[in-house]
Amino acid sequence: MPVICISSSEKDSGKTAILSGIVKESLDRGIKTYVGELEQDEIVEHKKINELLDINNKNSSHSNSDLVFIELNENDLTAQKKVLDKFDAKVIFIEKNDDNFVNIEKLFNDRLVGFIVNGVKKYKKNLSNDNESNKKIIAILEEQRFFMTKTVDAISKSLTTSNIIGEQNTDKIIENYLIGGFVLDWGPEYFSTRKNVALVVRGDRPDVQLSALQSGTLNVLIATNNITPVEYVIYEAKKLKIPVVIVEENTEESIGKLSDSFEDYSFDHNDKIMHSNKLLNENINFDELFDVFSAPITK
């Protein structure tokens, strides 16, 4: 039963996102997989990832699984080394840069599978390969806006929402925000230039609202000035299962509050796991990586 820890020497490195993508790959390969975290130095189920992936662990534990992944949330390297020794585990470090590579490799030695450098600005993606530690890089991943996205439900809580029509559909992800107004392009064509769209528009603009509904990319209609859209707009939105969020703020105030809310986000949606898995598949040779997971540690 190989145990693989996903760790970091720093906070907010993206461990949960990357762990979820690797776990998804393991499950897709038909491997009996357990994903956990530590609680008082013991392995317990990782509730967030299990819930997002709908994993049922009622009849399984880490001891009867073929592959175990553990997210380590302790940043002290010495404490992490004790955990690895206790469970005879290997480790992948998720780092934002290569500053700590030498110290990590020296401490973890043969238990270190390698590094995933995460959240790199596009213009900084080409890291130097001058030192030996950089040869342990598994992947260099660019910064991803998608992980900062929010659901319609979360967005509605950032505004003064007076009503939500179609509340059962508020788990949709919002990736782009468009403001309704006069545009030179044909309406549906303009709104289809982005995906997972939130339209922020005054509630009494059915022309703009219908254009957005016809685009095929709209995930929520935010009607401002506390004005409920006309009935035939509501009918189309219900037919397409697109929620309508009616807020007290005007359009400008709404955009301001939404902009402020971007500073706080979490890993909270299955679509983010799918995105992580896709990103990792584009940057990692998973066949080689899973061979390393199953190989014995050289001591």
Q: Return the minimum-mean-pLDDT range out of 4-13, 120-129, 220-229.
A: 120-129
pLDDT score of 132 more than 90: no
pLDDT score of 58 more than 90: no
> Cα dist. 144→14, 58, 95, 118, 160 in Å?
10, 34, 15, 9, 29
What pLDDT digit, counting tens, does each position of 100-113 carry?
Answer: 999 999 999 999 99
Tell me what pLDDT residue 6 has.
Answer: 97
Residues 80-105 have a mean pLDDT of: 94
What pLDDT digit, counting tens, does each position of 225-263 carry?
Answer: 999 999 999 999 999 999 999 999 999 999 999 998 887
pLDDT score of 151 more than 90: yes
Tally Cβ neighbours within 10 Å of residue 228: 15
Type of residue numbered 172: K
Beta bridge partner(s), residue 281: none
Average pLDDT over all residues of the chain: 89
Residue 238, CA atoms < 13 Å, CB-side half-sphere:
9
Residues 108-137 have a mean pLDDT of: 76
The model's pTM is 0.86
pLDDT band at 186 (very low <50, low <70, confident <90, very high): low
Q: Is 128 exposed, middle or buried (0-12, 13-18, 19+ CB in 10 A)?
A: exposed
Type of residue numbered 195: K
Tally Cβ neighbours within 10 Å of residue 235: 11
pLDDT score of 125 more than 60: no
Tell me what pLDDT residue 189 has.
Answer: 78
pLDDT band at 184 (very low <50, low <70, confident <90, very high): very low
Q: What is the DSSP letter of 158?
A: H
pLDDT score of 122 more than 60: yes
Tell me what pLDDT residue 277 has.
Answer: 97
Q: Which of 21, 14, 19 is nearest to 274 (CA)?
A: 21
In which element (H, E) is residue 6 found?
Answer: strand 3-7
Residues 145-171 have a mean pLDDT of: 95
Is 86 within 8 Å of 272 (Cβ atoms)? no
What the chain holds in terms of domains, given with CATH numbers, is: 3-147+267-294 (3.40.50.300), 150-261 (3.40.1390.20)
pLDDT score of 285 more than 50: yes
Rounded Cα gap, residues 154 and 249, in angstroms? 16
Residues 6+ apart with CB under 8 A from 251: 179, 180, 200, 201, 202, 224, 225
The pair of three-digit structure tokens given for residue 215, joined into one six-digit string: 């685009």
The pair of three-digit structure tokens given for residue 283, joined into one six-digit string: 């940057």
Rounded Cα gap, residues 281 and 247, in angstroms? 40
Tell me what pLDDT residue 299 has.
Answer: 55
Residues 169-186 have a mean pLDDT of: 79
Strand order through the sheet with 161-165: 161-165, 244-247, 218-224, 197-202, 176-179
